[in-house]
């Protein structure tokens, strides 16, 4: 078609437009397949650009990836004011390989192009105009505007319109600029290679002629295509979609049940979590009743919530939603809400009392939700007249920022209650993942063996610095000890105390490191007894310049404490290498993931992976823990777990899960087949 338009003598100029209000969203990633070949756009763009007839891109809706590259191959670009443009390839582990990395810097300069290409962010038509990506923005019919424009430029010289022929704008000190850019990208990429390759490709645009730059772009794309990272990121893209079509492990599609609309909600308890949840609800346009115990706490919370709303509104360029919230020290005003989210202390007795009260005072049909981090939803449901209305809504801190929401169904939760919580999560701009009811649900249940291994490694000779370094090199935003310092060591301590695990009187005896017959490390408890709660007290696994300080520094006190501890318990410190740290921490976590799948707590590996990427900073370019297990090989994971369990028979979390064994025995099917495999196992039970 394009060839015909370019060769037909009667055609003086050409307009390229999309269909159904969308210019072009780029290549369909499903088509990348196993062999991943680049898009066949390059020769076509060359033909368009080098032709003698003006070609105008009429951009409506979106011009993303290959779509924007196509527009850059045209001589002019006209966009509708609501259009969005961008090169999001980096988010899928790739780079724009149809000349995007070579043309964009030539058109808008290196810094702006580098920003768009390395972050994958979309820009509005207004920003695109300001940057110089488009020539004109219209509020009217884009195709009409483009046709008018195309006719006005018919027959005119195109010499100044072929982007590939532009000299790339030079920088005052190109080497220093790229060195700095590379440093910044490496830091924020946490091991992802695509952003680094994007910088290299843009560097080629500056330092090489266009044709050689294109060769470099192709070469770099080849490397990315064959890397596991692109595959992991594409898997993750589809995993998020799969989670959106939520189902239970038995395959029931509960998303067919109709959610009830929620206009008014209540939040009980305005601490760290309640405040964030209140903000997220108000920003989603709901009326919120926010409840605390005392006037002083209520006023403190009100001030904090108002500040959060203001900052959020400023960022989004809207008016803060103060008027959506009413504050109360009394639980009575929740009587007429459609849904309640309880976020008081993690204390079963307190939560039970609150659920009894709510069940008495709320209007019939009010959904009662809890933000518990891992307590039994069913026990709370049993305190109410209508247990079918109770579900868990487990947000992550800070709740108005973090994308993840675990929606927890108990054995008696109704499909409509689940659907309503899932739908509300969506309205609050969260990714809602449906999970079953068990201690810690999915995320925190898997975290437990991971933390245990980190403590055991310290007992055996590692330092917090070593463990954190290995995990951060793997790609976690923070290692386990820096993360514990940030979230507060006292939280886990309180839970362990409630579970009867903290037994100070036997700490010096032989059973100090055994609980319920298994290995237990009291290291975290001992730090808490010293008042070391992490950042909030200025001391934890590291030291900070003041309480609330953010920069972790090695603490010589902690190192001597570890040495004394080992001496006291007759533990010989040994040299522990990176591989052991990584395998013990990650494989223990992954093993628990297999148990979760086996127990039917998560519907599939995708659910676990989305939870870990969005809630626990698992590096996205590694797909998630279950995808990673497939990547390193299930046989390998099984063998290493067997090895470590043999060395540490008193650590049950290292004993390979039978689902993992079954998967290996059936030839280690790829991760997208596990759901089916597990369903078959469940149906045979």
> Apex CA 191: angle with CA 190 and CA 194, to 5°?
110
Question: Rg of the chain over CA atoms, in angstroms?
Answer: 28
Assess whether 310 carries a catalytic annotation.
no
DSSP assignment of 241-265: HHHHS---TT---GGGSPPPP--EE
Name the 3-class secondary structure at 59.
Answer: strand
Q: Is 359 in the site for ligand NAI (CB under 6 A)?
A: no
Q: Rounded to an integer, what distance in angstroms lies between the CA atom of residue 219 and that of residue 57?
A: 28
Region near ligand NAI per CB under 6 A, out of 133-141, 237-245, 341-349, 628-636 = 341-349
Q: Can you tell me which of 238, 345, 518, 557 binds ligand NAI, judged by CB under 6 A?
A: 345
CA atoms within 13 A on the CB side of 481: 30
> Which residues from 114-143 bind ligand NAI, rule CB under 6 A?
none
Torsions phi, psi for 153 (to 5 deg)? -105, 0
Q: Can you tell me which of 272, 356, 416, 636 binds ligand NAI, judged by CB under 6 A?
A: 272
The answer to whether 376 touches 340, Cβ cutoff 8 Å, is no
Q: Is 407 in the site for ligand NAI (CB under 6 A)?
A: no
Q: Can you tell me which of 127, 136, 346, 378 binds ligand NAI, judged by CB under 6 A?
A: 346
Least Å distance between CB 255 and ligand NAI? 24
Q: Which of 60, 69, 580, 592 is flagged as catalytic?
A: 69
Least Å distance between CB 348 and ligand NAI? 10
Q: Can you tell me which of 397, 503, 631, 681 binds ligand NAI, judged by CB under 6 A?
A: 397
Which residue lies nearer to ligand NAI by CB, 200 or 373? 373
Q: Rounded to an integer, what distance in angstroms lies between the CA atom of residue 59 and that of residue 214?
A: 25
Measured CA to CA in angstroms, residue 579 lies from 573, 623, 639 at distances of 17, 20, 14
Least Å distance between CB 615 and ligand NAI? 9
Least Å distance between CB 496 and ligand NAI? 14
Q: Is 273 in the site for ligand NAI (CB under 6 A)?
A: yes
Least Å distance between CB 292 and ligand NAI? 5
Cis, bond preceding 421 (omega within 30 deg of 0):
no
Least Å distance between CB 447 and ligand NAI? 12
Tokens of 362: 């709320």
Region near ligand NAI per CB under 6 A, out of 49-57, 98-106, 264-272, 524-532 = 264-272
Region near ligand NAI per CB under 6 A, out of 85-93, 258-266, 365-373, 532-540 = 365-373
The answer to whether 557 touches 563, Cβ cutoff 8 Å, is no
Contacts of 362 by beta carbon, 8 Å cutoff, 6+ apart: 334, 335, 337, 340, 368
Least Å distance between CB 318 and ligand NAI? 26
The answer to whether 102 touches 204, Cβ cutoff 8 Å, is yes
Q: Can you tell me which of 101, 234, 366, 373 binds ligand NAI, judged by CB under 6 A?
A: 373
Q: Is 292 in the site for ligand NAI (CB under 6 A)?
A: yes
Tokens of 652: 């049950």
Assess whether 642 carries a catalytic annotation.
no
The alpha-helical segments, DSSP class H, found in 531-577 are 556-568
Pick the closest to residue 626 from 642, 648, 602, 645 (CA basis): 602
Least Å distance between CB 342 and ligand NAI? 8
Instruction: Quickly count: other Cβ atoms within 10 Å of residue 335's Cβ.
Output: 14
Least Å distance between CB 347 and ligand NAI? 8
Q: Which residue is nearest to ligand NAI (CB)?
A: 271
The 445-484 contact track toward ligand NAI, x by CB under 6 A, reads ----------------------------------------
Least Å distance between CB 273 and ligand NAI? 3
> Per residue in 145-168, is it b (16+ CB within 10 Å) or e — as a string?
bbbebbeebeeeebeebbbbeeeb
Which residue lies nearer to ligand NAI by CB, 200 or 384? 384
Least Å distance between CB 344 and ligand NAI? 4
Q: Is 270 in the site for ligand NAI (CB under 6 A)?
A: yes
Q: Which of 49, 89, 342, 583 is flagged as catalytic?
A: 89
Which residue lies nearer to ligand NAI by CB, 269 or 464? 269
Q: Is 174 in the site for ligand NAI (CB under 6 A)?
A: no
Measured CA to CA in angstroms, residue 577 lies from 167, 467, 483, 554, 562 at distances of 50, 10, 21, 19, 18
Q: Rounded to an integer, what distance in angstroms lies between the CA atom of residue 487 and that of residue 503?
A: 23
Number of residues that bind ligand NAI (CB under 6 A): 25
Pick the closest to residue 41 from 65, 14, 70 (CA basis): 70
Q: What is the DSSP letter of 409?
A: E
CA atoms within 13 A on the CB side of 466: 19
Q: Can you tell me which of 164, 227, 287, 372 binds ligand NAI, judged by CB under 6 A?
A: 372
Which residue lies nearer to ligand NAI by CB, 292 or 555? 292
Q: Can you tell me which of 70, 344, 419, 483 binds ligand NAI, judged by CB under 6 A?
A: 344
Region near ligand NAI per CB under 6 A, out of 24-32, 337-345, 467-475, 514-522 = 337-345
Pick the closest to residue 69 from 92, 95, 93 (CA basis): 95
Tell me the residue ranges of DSSP E strands in 101-212. 122-124, 136-138
The answer to whether 481 touches 600, Cβ cutoff 8 Å, is no
Q: Is 290 in the site for ligand NAI (CB under 6 A)?
A: no
Q: Is 377 in the site for ligand NAI (CB under 6 A)?
A: no
User: Residue written as tokens 């609150």?
Assistant: 354
Q: Is 268 in the site for ligand NAI (CB under 6 A)?
A: yes
Pick the closest to residue 201 from 74, 66, 89 (CA basis): 89
Pairing assessment for the beta strands 264-268 and 339-342 based on DSSP bridges = parallel
Q: Is 401 in the site for ligand NAI (CB under 6 A)?
A: no
Pick the closest to residue 557 from 539, 575, 573, 571 (CA basis): 539
Q: Is 297 in the site for ligand NAI (CB under 6 A)?
A: yes
Region near ligand NAI per CB under 6 A, out of 61-69, 266-274, 555-563, 612-620 = 266-274
Name the 3-class secondary structure at 144.
Answer: helix
- CA dihedral of 279, 281, 283, 286, whole degrees rounded to 10: -140
Q: Can you tell me which of 85, 125, 137, 291 binds ligand NAI, judged by CB under 6 A?
A: 291
Which residue lies nearer to ligand NAI by CB, 197 or 602? 602
Q: Which residues bind ligand NAI (CB under 6 A)?
A: 268-274, 291-293, 297, 343-346, 350, 354, 371-373, 394-397, 487
- Please list the active-site residues: 69, 89
């Amino acid at each position: 078609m394009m060839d015909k338009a370019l060769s037909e003598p009667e055609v003086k100029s050409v307009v390229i437009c999309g269909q159904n209000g969308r210019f072009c969203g780029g290549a369909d990633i499903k088509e990348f397949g196993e062999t991943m070949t680049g898009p066949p756009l390059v020769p076509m763009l060359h033909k368009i650009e080098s032709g003698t007839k003006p070609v105008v891109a009429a951009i409506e809706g979106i011009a993303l990836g290959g779509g924007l590259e196509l527009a850059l191959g045209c001589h002019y670009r006209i966009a509708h004011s609501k259009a969005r443009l961008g090169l999001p390839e980096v988010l899928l582990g790739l780079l724009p390989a149809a000349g995007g990395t070579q043309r964009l810097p030539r058109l808008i300069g290196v810094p702006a192009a580098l920003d768009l290409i390395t972050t994958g962010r979309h820009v509005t038509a207004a920003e695109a105009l300001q940057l110089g990506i488009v020539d004109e923005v219209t509020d009217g019919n884009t195709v009409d505007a483009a046709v008018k424009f195309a006719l006005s430029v018919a027959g005119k010289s195109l010499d100044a319109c072929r982007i590939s022929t532009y000299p790339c704008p030079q920088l005052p000190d190109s080497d220093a600029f790229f060195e700095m850019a590379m440093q910044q990208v490496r830091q924020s990429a946490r091991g992802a290679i695509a952003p680094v390759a994007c910088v290299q490709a843009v560097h080629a645009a500056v330092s090489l002629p266009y044709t050689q730059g294109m060769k470099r772009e192709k070469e770099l794309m080849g490397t990315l295509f064959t890397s596991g990272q692109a595959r992991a990121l594409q898997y993750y893209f589809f995993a998020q979609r799969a989670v959106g079509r939520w189902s239970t492990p038995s395959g029931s599609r509960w998303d067919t049940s109709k959610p009830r609309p929620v206009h008014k909600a209540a939040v009980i308890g305005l601490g760290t979590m309640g405040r964030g949840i209140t903000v997220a609800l108000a920003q989603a346009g709901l009326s919120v009743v926010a409840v605390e115990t005392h006037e002083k706490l209520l006023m403190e919370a009100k001030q904090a919530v108002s500040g959060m709303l203001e900052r959020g509104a400023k960022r989004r360029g809207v008016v803060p939603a103060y008027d959506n919230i009413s504050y109360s020290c009394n639980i009575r005003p929740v009587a007429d809400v459609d849904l309640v989210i309880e976020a008081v202390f993690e204390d079963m007795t307190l939560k039970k009392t609150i659920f009894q009260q709510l069940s008495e005072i709320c209007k019939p049909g009010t959904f009662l939700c809890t933000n518990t981090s891992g307590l039994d939803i069913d026990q709370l449901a049993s305190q109410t007249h209508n247990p079918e209305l109770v579900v868990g809504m487990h947000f992550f801190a800070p709740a108005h920022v973090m994308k993840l929401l675990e929606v927890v169904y108990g054995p008696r939760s109704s499909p409509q209650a689940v659907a309503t919580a899932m739908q509300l999560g969506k309205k609050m701009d969260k990714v809602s993942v449906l999970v079953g009811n068990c201690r810690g649900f999915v995320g925190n249940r898997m975290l437990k063996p991971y933390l245990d291994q980190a403590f055991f490694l310290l007992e055996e000779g590692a330092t917090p610095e070593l463990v954190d370094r290995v995990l951060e090199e793997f790609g976690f935003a923070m290692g386990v000890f820096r993360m514990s310092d940030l979230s507060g060591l006292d939280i886990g301590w309180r839970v362990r105390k409630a579970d009867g695990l903290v037994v100070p009187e036997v700490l010096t005896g032989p059973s100090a490191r055994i609980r319920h017959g298994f290995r237990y490390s009291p290291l975290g408890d001992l730090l808490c007894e010293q008042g070391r709660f992490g950042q909030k007290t200025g001391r934890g696994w590291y030291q900070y310049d003041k309480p609330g300080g953010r920069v972790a520094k090695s603490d010589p006190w902690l190192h001597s404490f570890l040495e004394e501890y080992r001496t006291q318990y007759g533990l010989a410190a040994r040299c522990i290498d990176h591989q052991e740290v990584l395998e013990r921490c990650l494989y223990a976590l992954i093993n628990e993931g297999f148990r979760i799948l086996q127990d039917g707590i998560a519907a599939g590996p995708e659910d676990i992976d989305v939870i870990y990427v969005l809630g626990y900073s698992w590096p996205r370019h590694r797909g998630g823990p279950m995808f990673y297990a497939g990547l390193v090989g299930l046989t390998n994971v099984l063998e290493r777990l067997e090895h470590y369990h043999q060395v540490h028979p008193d650590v049950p979390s290292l004993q390979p899960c039978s689902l993992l064994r079954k998967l290996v025995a059936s030839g280690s099917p790829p991760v997208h087949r596990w759901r089916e495999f597990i369903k078959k196992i469940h149906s045979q039970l």
